[in-house]
Amino acid sequence: MRPTTPYRPLDITIPFPELAPFARTGTRLHPRRGAPTAADSSVGGPLLWPADEEWPVCREHGRVPGVRPERARRYETIVETAWARPRPAGADGVPYTDAERAELDEMSLSGYQPDRHDGTPLPLLALAQFYARDVPDLAAFAPPGTDLLQVLWCPFTGHEDGGSSHFGPSTRLRWRRAADVTDPLSVQPEPPIVERTGYLPRPCVLYPEQVVEYPFADYLPSDLVERIDAWEDAFRERAGEAAPWYQYDLSLAPGWKVGGWDSWHRTDLVRVYCAACGSEMRVLLTIDSYDSGGSWGPYPPVAPATGVSVGRDGEYRAFVCPSDPWHPHRMSMQ
Ligand SMILES: [Zn+2]
Ligand SMILES: [Zn+2]
């Protein structure tokens, strides 16, 4: 069933018409477990990649500890299988078998890093790809002549590539024209190790849905924010807990999305500027550890599907330059 965002509790531009010019569309991606191919928009699926183009690698890591992807996938399978088992009435805990328990213990005793890399360059991990035909808000960002965005990352923190990306994996954005890829790669490289299971996406198909968003309050004039605060207080006095919040219900959608506005709930607003030309950058992609929240929870409801967890269960955002889409992007964690 196609996930659908419920109607907003109210239209915030009726009490505050001055918010209308700040409206932006964003596309919620609604990733759901599936078996995407290179011809599909996906998270954790295969990329449409030319067979004769080098696959990018990262050379910044030596013999780092981590977890092999096959072990991480096995771990997830064990947990999901055990959770799905019928539980006897009154039984405590998850019904793991002894063998499963032993495997899980090995992971937790090692701090979830039971493996060690041999020091060779790490092929980057295919994180996601988006076709402009599927994601309405992608076209506004796509460099002329391109219609496909591919996102790869090195599944380790601590990179030297500037910005604030040392808080999360180092990312690469690759724009291309899908029709140019006439001889696609058949076997996709994968890093032999990842820093943690949360950097390894599970294959998901997407159900893009366009929504309208309004800015995080720090982007708004302070007198408008004061009036919104007063409106929220008065609403709360009359309606109690049923009163909507601007920040949580009426402005920003949670979850993976393309376009829209960016939240700064952990740090307050830190504007992001292009290192090449100084223009204020605009959020292109939000990678979110959670997919729902408050009144935005899609119907039908679903647990987070991608397995991706960034920062402290946070959001990891790619910002791009509005003046020149080829200027280097920057990452920001919330
Ligand atoms: Zn790396
Ligand atoms: Zn720029």
Interval 34-73: pLDDT, tens = 999 999 999 999 999 999 999 999 999 999 999 999 999 9
Total domain count, the chain? 1
Query: Which pLDDT score is estimated for 166?
Result: 58
Query: Which pLDDT score is estimated for 42?
Result: 98
| Nearest ligand to residue 172 Cα | 1
User: How far does residue 284's CA lie from ligand 2's centre (Å)?
Assistant: 14
**Contact call for residues 331 and 312 (beta carbons, < 8 A):** no
DSSP 8-state class, residue 247: I
pLDDT in tens, 277-295: 999 999 999 999 988 777 8
- 183 inside domain: yes
pLDDT in tens, 296-308: 999 988 888 999 9
| Nearest ligand to residue 280 Cα | 2
**pTM of structure:** 0.94
- 96 inside domain: no
| Nearest ligand to residue 168 Cα | 1
User: How far does residue 277's CA lie from ligand 2's centre (Å)?
Assistant: 4
Closest CA to 56 of 166, 145, 169: 169
Query: Which pLDDT score is estimated for 90?
Result: 81
- 107 inside domain: no
User: How far does residue 270's CA lie from ligand 2's centre (Å)?
Assistant: 17
28: domain CATH number is 2.30.320
User: How far does residue 250's CA lie from ligand 1's centre (Å)?
Assistant: 38
pLDDT in tens, 130-182: 999 999 999 999 999 999 999 999 999 988 765 444 578 999 999 999 999 99
Q: For residue 248, which amino acid is it?
A: Y
Return the bridge partners of 144, or none: none
d(CA 104, CA 92): 18
- 99 inside domain: no
**Contact call for residues 310 and 273 (beta carbons, < 8 A):** no
Say if residue 2 is exposed, middle or buried (CB neighbours under 10 Å; 0-12, 13-18, 19+): exposed
> Does residue 17 carry a pLDDT above 70?
yes
Query: Which pLDDT score is estimated for 58?
Result: 95
Structural domain boundaries enclosing 194: 17-64+117-333
Query: Which pLDDT score is estimated for 1?
Result: 85
Query: Which pLDDT score is estimated for 304?
Result: 83
Query: Which pLDDT score is estimated for 302?
Result: 82
- 97 inside domain: no
User: How far does residue 129's CA lie from ligand 1's centre (Å)?
Assistant: 20
> What are all long-range contacts of 69-77, with beta carbons under 8 Å and residues at least 24 apart?
69/190, 69/191, 69/192, 69/193, 69/194, 69/200, 71/107, 71/114, 71/115, 72/194, 72/197, 72/200, 73/200, 74/103, 75/103, 75/104, 75/107, 75/197, 76/197, 76/202, 76/307
| Nearest ligand to residue 58 Cα | 1
User: How far does residue 28's CA lie from ligand 1's centre (Å)?
Assistant: 28
Closest CA to 288 of 247, 268, 318: 318
Q: What percent of the chain has pLDDT over 70?
A: 98
- 111 inside domain: no
- 323 inside domain: yes
d(CA 43, CA 202): 7
pLDDT in tens, 72-123: 999 999 999 999 898 888 878 889 999 999 999 999 999 999 999 999 999 9
User: How far does residue 139's CA lie from ligand 1's centre (Å)?
Assistant: 29
User: How far does residue 257's CA lie from ligand 2's centre (Å)?
Assistant: 22
- 182 inside domain: yes
| Nearest ligand to residue 276 Cα | 2
